[in-house]
Each structure stands twice: as C-alpha cells, then as structure tokens.
Chains A and B, each alone.
Chain A
Amino acid sequence: MAEKQNSNFFPPKYADAIVGLSAKEQEAIKKKYESMKFEVGEAIGVVAAQSISEPATQTTLRSYHAEGRTQLVTTKGLPRLIEIFDARKMPKTPTMEIYLDAENNTLEKAREIAAKIRETKLKQLISEDSLDMINMRAEIVLDREQMSASETNVEEIMNILKKNLRSANITGEQNKIYIELKKKDFDVRELQATRIKARTIYIKGIKGISQIIIEKVKNDWVIRTLGSSLRRVLKIKGVNTIRTTSNNIFEVADVLGIEAARNAIVKETIDTMREQGVDTDIRHLLLVADVMTNTASISAIGRYGLAGRKASVLSRANFEETVKHLTYAAVAGEIDPLESVIENIIVGNLAPIGTGIVKLAVKEDEADGKK
C-alpha cells in the first residue's frame, strides 16, 4: 500500500542534485532510492534512540580535553547531550556564536560589537581602589583605557553608582570616584561592604555575557561568547541575524520560534556527537527533535516530558512513578487502549510494530493442499 501511495515521492534535495545527469543515470538513482526507502512498520523510534545512546555508552564521551590555546570552556560530550534531552531551561554554559553582516565583517567591527555586548562590572574598569580611613570613604581610581574600550565615562559610571548605592554619597573628580556613607555613625566594616558591593555593580553590556573570544573562521569574523542573550544581540546593528545562534534552546524557541528550536536541537546534538568522533545519521536526531518540539513547546525526554504524557497507563507505570500512574488511572477510570509496544508486551500480546503490524491470512483449504 505504502509503495503505491508514495511511488512518486522523490526527495527534493536529491531531485535538485540529479539535474544535469543523463536520463539513464537519473533512472538508476531513482531506482536506488526505491531500494533505500523505509519499510512500513520499521521501529524508527527505537532505532533512533539506540543510534544516539549506543555510542554514548560505548565510547567514553569525554567531557574535557581541550588542546592548545584556551577556548571558551563549554559543556561537552555526554553531559551536554543529557542537558539537551532534559530540556533544561538554562544550559550550564550558555554560549552564542555571533556572525557579522557582509559589510561589517571586519576585526574592528567585531571588536566594537564585542565591547558593546560584554557585561562590564565596575571592577573591570578600576585601576586602583582603597579605603580612605582618614576621610572615612572609599576611593576608586578608574582606568581610562578600559573605560574608553567599554565606551563609557566617569559621569555615566557615577550615575549608575548613584542609582545602585542609595545609602551612599557619590562624588568624583577627574577619574576618581569617592563613596561616602550617608548615615553618620557607621562601622568601617559597613564601608568596606559597600566598597565590595560597588565593585560588582553592572555598568554596561548584556548581563550574563562574561567572556568573549573573537575568531576568524574561514572568511568570517565570529564572536563567541560565554553567556547568551539572543534577543538583545540580534538587535545590534551589524550583527548577521540569520547566522547568529545561541546554544540555549529555550532562548532560540522564545526569540525565533519552535521551528528554529527544533533545528537548534538537531544542530546542538549532532555537533556534540561529531565533536566526540561519533558518526550518527542526522535522521535519528531529526526524529528526536521532532518529537521534542511536536507540541509547539519543548518537552523533555523523561518522566516530566514525553513519558509522562503517553496514552497508555501501563506504559507510563512501567517507566517511572509506577504507583502514581496506577492510582491516578483508577480514579480517572482510565482505559488503556493497548495500542503501542510496552503495554502489549505486558499483557502478553504481539506488539504492533515491525512485523507485528502484519496479519497473516491463510486460506485453509489451500494450506491443507486440497485446493
């Protein structure tokens, strides 16, 4: 039946590729395609799951081993894979890969954008700071070079400090800033605490972007960041909004939509596996990504995601939280339709998958040889 219904289907990707070949060659390719098609009943899900996790168990998916010059230290290998399948709201090490527009594809522009997005705290702009015990105030000397690199000035910083340190008077001269506490009798320790607090005050950039590396990849200047905020970065002029990506799948879904998130899952998983030297067909990961994003939101592989939503009581009970699912089913008067694999194994039926979906009918008189 399937053969008939899809006999005309030929993947567009390959249809494009065979343009220009001779008719005979095209025919041969099409015939080859027919021989490669999925069989009806194929347990495509199990095969995908095995193809992902078998190499994960077999090879030691190393999570470190960075050779040579330091790169951004990101989660890799098995922990990263699990992180993706768990659909964590925030990955352990969110990163972005920022590409630039064709006309802005220069090191200078990359540096400029990098300076803009990098989260800058006061301590990064300080060349010297100390407690002035005579005047009972904290004294901060700002670094001119750092300030200009971050495109800020003393006034701006003072304004930010004033907003954030309500309990203190902020005064300044040239590139010095003084912090005095407003209240009269105070401990030196309080002043010290204020000084330390001041050091960590956020001045500029995008919050969370703590580290930046600029690299040349082939012809492109790429800004890699530790910390991620797609929404804000995509608004920056000069950023290539098509190629710029984040490894935070929820963020991608939020900013670019669920289809983008689905592609992000595929990209992240296959990159993680390839980096470990594991060759897995992309179709398996496409399937996983499709399953995870099927409901238009990202659901995890696990008890709170897909497994907890299945139609079958027995299947859910078999996975995790057995008693919870059984008691719940009783209260709801649930009916297990016994339509997929595990339930049927449990009750002792033939599972409706693979050759199990085929029913054999024998004409009895023929079988007995009578005709």
Chain B
Amino acid sequence: MATVKELQFKLISPAMVKKIAVMNVNVSDVYDADAYPVEGGVMDPKLGVIDPGMRCRTCGGKLGECTGHFGYIELSRPVINILYIKQIKSLLTYTCFECGGLLVDKDRLKNIKTFDDLKAFKPAAKCPKCGKAQEKIRLDKPSTFVRGKHALTPVEIREQFEKIKDGDLAAMKFLGGRPEWLILTLLLVPPITTRPSITLETGDRSEDDLTHKIVDIIRINKRLADNLEIGAPDFILEDLWELLQYHVSTFFNNELSGVPPARHRSGRALKTLSQRLKTKDGRFRHNLTGKRVNFSARTVVSPDPNISVNDVGVPEVIAKELTVPIKVTKHNLEFMRELVKNGPNVHPGANYVIRPEGMRKKILKDNSATLAEELIPGCIVERHMMDGDVVLFNRQPSLHRMSVMAHHVRVMNGKTFRVNLCVCKPYNADFDGDEMNLHFPQTAEARAEAEELMLVEKNMRSPRFGGPVLGCDQDYISGAYLLTRKGTSFSKKDVVQMLANSLALENEIAEELLSQNKKEYTGKEIFSMVLPKGLNARYKGTVGCEECEGNCKHNGEVVIENGILKHGVIDSKGIASFKGNVLDAVDAQFGHARARLFLDQVTRLISEVMMRKGFSISVQDIDLPAKTKRDINNIIDRQFAAMEAHIEQYRKGKMECFPGRTAEQTLEDLILEEVWKITNEVQKVVRENAEPTDALIMAKTGARGNIQNLAYMAALIGQEMIGGRRIFRGYKNRTTSHFPRDVLGPDAHGFVRSSFIQGLTPAEFFFEVMKGREGLMDVALKTKVSGYMQRRLINALQDLKVNNDWTVKDSEGTIIQFVPGEDGIDPAKSDFGTLDRKLKTE
C-alpha cells in the first residue's frame, strides 16, 4: 500500500503559482448568453470538470479522473495576505526598513526554536548594519501597517522584505520561503472541482461561495487596472486598492475582526477558505478525521433474550445489501456457485462476481445461472452477509472502547437489529427507539482483528476499573433472587425443560445433579447447574443472609464451592454489570468464553424462572399499613416543630451562627438538617415496614429502584432542592401565591409532604416540576461541558502508546512512563485494578 511518509508546509512563490496554474483568469463574467462558461472566466473548462460527460480542456480527463487545475489572477497592485498579518508585523518590526538587516543580534537568536520566539526580543532602535534609526511599527486593523506616522503600502513592505538576507531569515527560523511572498502579486484561483456549482431543479445555476468571491476580486482588479491605465487621481486608486485588499482578505478569511464579512445576496456571510477548514464541520474535523464509510448499516435496535451476547440479529434486507469479497478456490467453488446462482434477491446469495482478469459483473436474476456456471477458482464473489460473519456494532455517542464491539451475525426476519440484553450496559442502549450502526469488515486481516480483539466476550472486563461491564440487569436480577432464595424448588420435569431451553442440559454440574434423580430440585441447585465445575467464590451480597435467622455461620456471605451455590442468594452483587462477583469469578477462573457461556445460560434460565413464577407490582404493593402512616406523620410533625423552633430563634435574633456563616445561612443549614432527618427516618420506617412485595424485591436486590423510590411512592417526597438550596425563587418574598410573604417554613419553600400515592397539592406539584426542570437543564448543559473535556483529554493523550521497550512515550518521543501504569498491569486484565484482591498491599 502506498503511504505518505511526511508532509512539508511551505509558502508559495509567484513563480510557483505561474507554474502550477494553467491559465490567467481575468474575465469577471461567468457564463455567456448561451449559458456556456466564458473563456478566461472563473468557470473556464480548463480549470476542471464538474459535469458528467464533459472532458477537461487541460488534461482530457472525465469527471472523477481530473482533479482540477489551478488558475491565477494577476493583481494590478500587490496586497497583503491577511492570514500572515502577524508574521508580516514581526518581520517589519525586526528588520531594518532601509537595508533589511536584522534588528536583533544574530547570536542571541541561536537558541530560538520557532519564528514566534522572536517576540521575546526587543528590536534595536538603530540598525546595527546601516545605523538608520528605526521607528515603531503599528498595525492599524485590519491590514494597514504604520511606521511612525507613515502608512505603509504593500509595495513598500514588499520592497523591504526583498532586502532581507536568507541567512537572517534562517536565524529568525523563517524557513518556509521568501517573506515577500506574503505580499501577493499573483492570486492562485482554486480549481472548479473545489467550488462546484449546483444546478437547481429550476435549471438555474447556483455558484459556490468561493466562485462569488473570486468574481468580486477579478472585477475590482480590472477596475483598478483600468483606472491605473487612464491615470486616475490617487484617492480613487487608493480606494480601489483598499477595496481589492478587502476582497482578497475576505477570500482567505471572512471572519476577520473589524472587517464586515462579505455577504451573499440573501445576507448570509460567505464561507471562504478559512471557514472551509475550521471547526466541527470544516474540512479537518468533518472530512479528514471523520470519514464516511461503505459497508455499513443503521437501524433501530430491539431486544432478543434468546441470542448470545456475542451475536447480533441482522435483518435480511440488510444482509442482502452488505457484502464481502470472497476469493473462489477449488475448496469453496461449489458453495460459491450456489451463492451466485441464488443471486442478489435470495438470501444467502451474492451481488457481484469479479473475474480473475478484473471484470466486475453484477449478478442479476437472468444472468445468475450463467455466471454461476462460469465461476472458476480465482474469481472473487461479493457474497451476502451470512450467519457467523464478524461485524462491528456501535452505538453513539462512542464514549469508550466498548461502544464499538464485534458481534457474530445472525440473519433474521424483521427490520431491526436484535441484541442480547446483557450488552445494553456497555453500549448504554435501551429500546425506546435507539438506533445502532453496523460495519462489515472487508479483509481477512480486519475480520481476524475484530474477532480476536473486539468480540463482545473479550471486552467483558472494563479497562476503566477492571471489573465486568457485561452483566444482567433489572428482571434478571429479581429472577436470580427468586430462583436462589430459600424455599424455591422445581420438579425435575420443570428443571429439565428449563435447562433445555437455556441450552444448558449438557453442563457438567447439570448432568451430575440430574443423574441423582431427585423429585424436586432447589433453586440453588438449579442455579449451580449453569456454573462451571470447580468455581469458587465468596462475597457479600446486597440482600444478605435470609436463611439462618440471626446466627449465620457464613457471615451472611454468598458461598460457591466447586461450582455449587452453597449459601446465600444471587442478587445484583452476583451477576449485574459493574459489580457481578459470580460473573467476575467465572471470568477470572475460566476465561472470557466460559463467562460468556455462563451469562448466556443464566439469562435464559432466569427467563424460564420468571415465566413460571411471574413478577409484577400494583398500587397495593406500595401501600403502607395504617400504623406506619401514622408513624411517618409523627416524624414529619415533630421535625416541622423543630424547624419552627429554629425559625423562632432566628426571628428573635438569637440565632447562634455557625462559624463563618451568617444568621440566614445558619438557619438554612439547620432547617436542611431537620429535613434530612425526616428523609432518613422515613426511609428507615419504610424499609422496616414495607410488605415483602415484588416492588421491595426489586429495591432490595438492586434490580431497579431503591428504598428511596419506594418512599417517594408510599410515604413522602420530601424537600425539593434547586442548586443545592431550598426553593426561594418566584414572586417577591414568596415562592408562589399560595403562601403569605416572608414565610420561612418548610411548606413555602419546596417541602413536599405528600407521596405519589396520596397525590400532590398544586403548590407541591409545582415545586416538583421545578426540580424536574432543573434536572433537564443540568443534563443538557453538562453533556456539552463533559463532551468538550473528553475531546481535550483524548487530544492530549491519543498519541501515548506502550512501546516495544515497554515505555510510554508521547509523539515527540519523550518518555512519560518507564513502565506503563507504574506496575505494568493492564486494568482491563486485572482483578479490579490489582494483581489479586486478596493480596494485601500497602
């Protein structure tokens, strides 16, 4: 493959302009009466082709072959290149206007690294060479230089620059060419292909912004030339010269400070050269760093609990569109014939055949049979995507490397991508309309790399913290709890059916346990059947021991020995993403592939459990007993009284202030303290008194929601806060008109005494909505800020890699770390960031 070795940036000389340009562009008309491009105009066909079927007048190439050719404009008077305004100023300041000599001692410049470093020096007041006294240079924005009191013309500047010696330039680290080239005498006109015109539906042509600008330059240039010829008065010439400078300046950059941007007829500012490169949708970030790709697809994702985490379900329509080139050999000849025969419309088919001599033939319904017949080893068949192919799957925003992972294809009915629920976490996907992208690697190398490095199971452990990112969520957690808690059992018939549906019947432990031929199997035994034999794990779950009534000999730990769940229930600490200990143990002890298999089987098993047990909540589930409700009211009343007491103190002026806080602040602190007491105590009451319903199971196991959410529904919502304070905004001295002025009590400042079951009063509802709005704004604002932080971080660190000698170096070759991560451990392969969590370090 041809590669670019290096890239040098230089200034372009007038001689070079003449050399690369194919014509002098000097006619301001674009098209003649017959709508043909005018010869010598900006759309002259010598400058390239943009219409299909036309040929370039310079090179004879067709559209797509000819990349276009430059033209030039001979400027009647030289103008400054506005992009180099700073450099021009430096040159004027640091060289003598008389002899072009350096105004700084050459020896002192020895250590400067860049032209910019020149600014650290003070230019001599007298030229050391010719002794001429120097005057101060001032830049009169936008582009006029003033020496002392005399305004310099570009001609004068050019003359001075011509006198600067090459050696002096080298000393100043001005190495890109001659300084006089910064003053333009010839203007390079970009090829038509860089500024194509668009033909509108009405047949009218709409020219590119750059074309408009070039036309302006030619027109003014002509006028200036004419006026020069007839010997017009100086002030007219000067005006025209300035106008020419303006047009050339805005051609380079149309967002100059102090210069009104050149506008389109509609009033829109023109997008000229600088604007084309800059910012997010400029050439660099939009077209060079980010490129559009072929062999990709995008559609809505939906869940499929029956496919593996490694798989992705691809709709047949997409599979028929995305192809991969496969070389025909004598080994696969028959198979390839079959595919070619099927053609583009039958699924495992093919769309193109490339003959060994390079002829590319589209497979159609009526030529598929002949093409299949003619197929020989050495042909390349572009066959459809098929089951088992490796593809890259991605969901934006791609915030970490698990946002792109490789999956195996499963072609399916329907029009959505199907994904296993356990990969939702790393992609941060849900199914409320999320779309995802799919890419089909085209070469064997790419496919091998994808499979070996990017496959879902190989990204199981997050490089962020060294724990699992794949894992179960929501109902899978509740289901695991229902299965493994005390008292759950199923008949052997059920167990066999469940395991068969989970594709786990042949597991070693399953076979062992089933051969015991028990009538009933406990949930713990059933769960063990999907565990690998030999697995050992001990950890504390979120639920804790519910079995031993006080004196648990296992300290409330979950214990797995030799693949058998001995004690404890499986909850979010067992199999959820980020914290799943069982998942982590399987991965650490048996490898990624076994962990993936475990995940596949355990999720299907739990689905079977949930189908047999059922799981739902209703309003009754979150209703509290009458006594509990009274208790909660008592807590609230007590705390309200406490708050009133504080307010009373404050009103009397007897507040004892906290150090460094005013009386008002102290009062707020105290009130909030009392409010927190309500929240905490009510939470405790709810936890202790809530009925053991499915809602509570979800909160307890960490499947979804928490006790606080239950409290919101059943007991009370509590204090609404905005910006970390109680709510004060609203009308004069009060939040809403429901309250008298200057009241400091809880109700008037966002305390919501009701629960969602009771329903909120209008004022409470309003406070709740205020908090909700703050949350929305927070998210909207924060994503921007953190997005930019990510961009900056990536930019600063992207060049760092582990080198062959195991050092970490930056792009300049400076060593950043001698051993990556100080101890050489890759967090993505570590035990939660350590060599072994059991090892005591520090």
Q: Which residues of A contact B (CB under 8 A)?
A: 1-2, 5-6, 9, 11, 13-14, 16-18, 29, 32-33, 35-58, 60-61, 64-70, 78, 81-82, 85, 210-213, 226, 279-284, 286-288, 290-291, 294, 301-302, 305-307, 310-315, 317-319, 322-323, 326-343, 345-350, 353-355, 357, 360
Residues of B within 8 A of A306 (CB): 795-796
Q: How far is the CA of A320 from the CA of B289 in the complex (A)?
A: 13
**Alpha-carbon gap, A103 to B658, bound state (A):** 29
B9, B723, B839, most chain A CB atoms within 10 A: B9
Residues A338 and B175 in contact in the complex (CB < 8 Å), given A281-B465, A281-B833, A331-B87: no
B790→A57 contact, CB < 8 A = yes
Q: How far is the CB of B786 from chain A (nearest CB, A)?
A: 4
A347 surroundings in chain B (CB, below 8 A): 4, 7
Q: Is the pair A329, B786 in contact by a Cβ cutoff of 8 Å?
A: no
**Pair B289/A6 contact, Cβ less than 8 Å:** no
Whether B122 sits at the interface, judged by CB under 8 Å, is no
Q: In the complex, A110 Cα to B823 Cα: how many Å?
A: 39
Contact between chains at A44 and B793 (CB < 8 Å): no
Beta-carbon contact of A323 and B724 below 8 Å? no
Tell whether B829 is near chain A: CB-to-CB under 8 Å. Answer: yes
Contact A287 B115 (CB under 8 A): no
Complex CA gap A70/B662 in Å reads 12
Q: List residues of chain B with CB within 8 A of the CB of A279.
A: 464-465, 467, 578
Chain B residues whose C-beta falls within 8 Å of the C-beta of A310 in the assembled complex: 799, 811-812
Measured between beta carbons, the chain A residues less than 8 angstroms from B782 are: 60-61, 78
Q: Is the CB–CB distance between A37 and B783 below 8 Å? A: no
Looking at chain B's contact residues, the main secondary structure is loop
Binds A, one of B276-284, B611-619, B620-628, B631-639: B276-284
Number of A-B contacts (CB under 8 A): 340
Cβ-defined contact, B841 with A50, below 8 A: no
Flag whether B134 is at the interface (Cβ < 8 A): no
Q: List 18 A-B contacts (CB under 8 A).
A: A32-B835, A45-B799, A50-B400, A54-B400, A60-B782, A64-B724, A69-B673, A210-B660, A281-B463, A283-B821, A286-B821, A287-B817, A319-B795, A323-B277, A340-B799, A346-B288, A347-B4, A347-B7
Report yes or no: A334 in contact with B789, Cβ–Cβ below 8 A. Answer: no
Contact between B786 and A56 (Cβ–Cβ < 8 Å)? yes
Q: Is the CB of B826 within 8 A of A39?
A: yes
Verify B811–A322 contact, CB threshold 8 A.
no
* Contact across chains for B800 and A44 when beta carbons are under 8 A apart: yes
A334 close to B790 (CB less than 8 A):
no
Q: Tell me if A49 and B793 are in contact (CB < 8 A).
A: yes
Which of A55, A70, A322, A338 is close to B6, meaning CB atoms less than 8 Å apart? Answer: A338
- Could you tell me the distance in whole angstroms from the C-beta of B805 to the nearest C-beta in chain A? 6
Known: A60-B778, A282-B833, A347-B7. A342 touches B289 (CB 8 A): yes
- Kindly identify which residue among B659, B783, B817 contacts A211, using a CB–CB cutoff of 8 Å: B659
**Is B693 located at the chain interface by the 8 A CB criterion?**
no
Instruction: A29 to B1: give the CA distance in the assembly, Å.
Output: 44
- Taking A290-B817, A329-B9, A346-B288 as contacts, is the C-beta distance between A47 and B463 under 8 angstroms? yes
The interface residues of chain A lying within 8 Å CB-to-CB of B428 are 58
Decide yes or no whether B816 CB sits under 8 A from chain A: yes
Chain A residues whose CB sits within 8 angstroms of the CB of B825 once the complex forms:
11, 33, 36-38, 283
B residues near A67, Cβ cutoff 8 Å: 676
Q: Is B66 an interface residue (CB 8 A)?
A: no
- Closest-by-CB residue of A relative to B7 is A336
Contacts of A345 in B (CB 8 A): 288-289
Minimum CB–CB distance from A146 to chain B (whole Å) comes to 12
Closest to B833 in A: A281
A-contact 0/1 string along B250-266, CB 8 Å cutoff: 00010000000000000
CB pair B84 A327 closer than 8 Å: yes
Say yes or no: A29 contacts B3, CB within 8 Å: no
Determine whether the beta carbon of A333 is less than 8 Å from that of B836: no
A371 to B8, CA, bound (A): 44
- Residue pair B819, A9 in contact (C-beta under 8 Å): yes
Closest CB of chain A to B140's CB: distance in Å? Answer: 21
Cross-chain contact A64 with B723 (CB below 8 angstroms): yes
Q: How far is the CA of A43 from the CA of B4 in the complex (A)?
A: 22
| Identity of the chain A residue whose Cβ is nearest the Cβ of B824 in the assembled complex | A37
Contact of B806 (CB < 8 Å), options: A40, A65, A288, A322:
A40
In the complex, are the beta carbons of B790 and A51 less than 8 A apart? no
- Are A18 and B839 neighbours in the complex by a CB distance under 8 Å? yes
Bound state CA distance, A124 and B815, in angstroms?
53
Per the 8 Å Cβ criterion, residues 102-148 of B in contact with A are 114-116
Beta-carbon contact of B800 and A291 below 8 Å: yes
B76 at the interface (CB under 8 A from A): no
Inter-chain contacts of B149 with A (CB < 8 A): none
Verify if B736 is at the interface (C-beta below 8 Å from A).
no
| CA gap between A50 and B83 in the complex, in Å | 36
Closest partner residue, chain A, to B827 (CB atom)? A281
Known A38-B820, A42-B826, A284-B464; further 19 A-B contacts with Cβ < 8 A = A2-B806, A13-B841, A45-B800, A46-B800, A47-B828, A54-B399, A56-B786, A60-B778, A61-B782, A64-B723, A66-B724, A279-B578, A288-B797, A319-B795, A322-B282, A329-B9, A331-B11, A338-B6, A342-B289
Residues from chain A with a CB closer than 8 A to the CB of B174 are 331-332
- Residue B787 CB within 8 A of the other chain: yes
Which of B282, B465, B826 is most buried by chain A, counting CB atoms within 10 A of its CB?
B826
**Contact in complex: A330, B277 (CB < 8 Å):** no
Residues of A with C-beta under 8 A to B16 = none
Q: Which of A5, A331, A334, A336 contacts B805 (CB 8 A)?
A: A5
A349 to B723, CA, bound (A): 49
Contact check, A323 vs B798: say whether CB atoms are below 8 A apart: no
B459 to chain A, nearest CB (A): 12
B811 in contact with A311 (CB, 8 Å): yes
Would A313 and B9 count as touching, CB distance under 8 A?
yes
Instruction: Note all chain B residues with C-beta closer than 8 A to A33.
Output: 825, 835
Known contacts A13-B841, A53-B399, A210-B660; A342 and B798 CB within 8 A of each other = yes
Q: Tell me whether A68 and B836 are in contact (CB under 8 A).
A: no
Q: Which of B412-453 contact A (CB under 8 A)?
A: 428, 445, 449, 453
Residues of B within 8 A of A54 (CB): 399-400, 464, 790
B808, A283: Cβ atoms closer than 8 Å: no
Q: Is the CB of A335 within 8 A of B804?
A: no
In chain B between 193 and 248, which residues have their CB closer than 8 angstroms to a CB of chain A? none
Please give me the 4 A-B residue pairs with the lowest Cβ-Cβ distance, nearest first.
A45-B800, A64-B724, A45-B797, A333-B175
Minimal Cβ-Cβ distance residue in B for A16: B841
B residues in contact with A346, CB < 8 Å: 284, 288-289
B769-802 Cβ-contact flags toward A at 8 Å (1 or 0) = 0000001001100110111011011111111111
Chain B residues positioned under 8 Å from A323 (CB to CB): 83, 253, 274, 277-278
Contacts of A39 in B (CB 8 A): 802, 826
Name the one of B87, B661, B793 contacting A70, with C-beta atoms under 8 angstroms.
B661
With contacts A11-B823, A281-B833 taken as known, whether A81 is within 8 angstroms of B789 at the C-beta atoms is yes
Of the residues A14, A50, A78, A82, contact of B399 by C-beta under 8 Å: A50
- The answer to the question of B515 belonging to the interface, with a C-beta cut-off of 8 Å to chain A, is no
Instruction: Please state if A1 and B804 are interface contacts (CB–CB under 8 Å).
Output: yes
Q: Which B residues are in CB contact (< 8 Å) with A68?
A: 672-673, 676
B800 touches A302 (CB 8 A): no
List A contacts of B814 (CB < 8 A). Answer: 294
Residues on B with C-beta less than 8 A from A69 are 669, 673
Contact of B785 among A16, A82, A353 (CB under 8 A): A82
Known contacts A301-B796, A306-B796: A53-B11 contact under CB 8 Å: no
A288 touches B793 (CB 8 A): yes
Question: A213: which B residues are within 8 A, CB to CB?
Answer: 659
Cα of A355 to Cα of B11 in the assembled complex, Å: 37
A280 B464 Cβ-Cβ under 8 A? yes
Residues of B within 8 A of A282 (CB): 833
Q: Please tell me if the beta carbons of B823 and A290 are within 8 angstroms of each other in the complex.
A: no
For A214, give the chain B residue with the smallest CB separation.
B659
B401: CB under 8 A from chain A? yes
A162→B823 CA distance, assembly (Å): 61
Cα A289 to Cα B65 in complex, Å, equals: 50
Q: Pick the contact of B811: A65, A78, A330, A339 (CB < 8 A).
A: A339
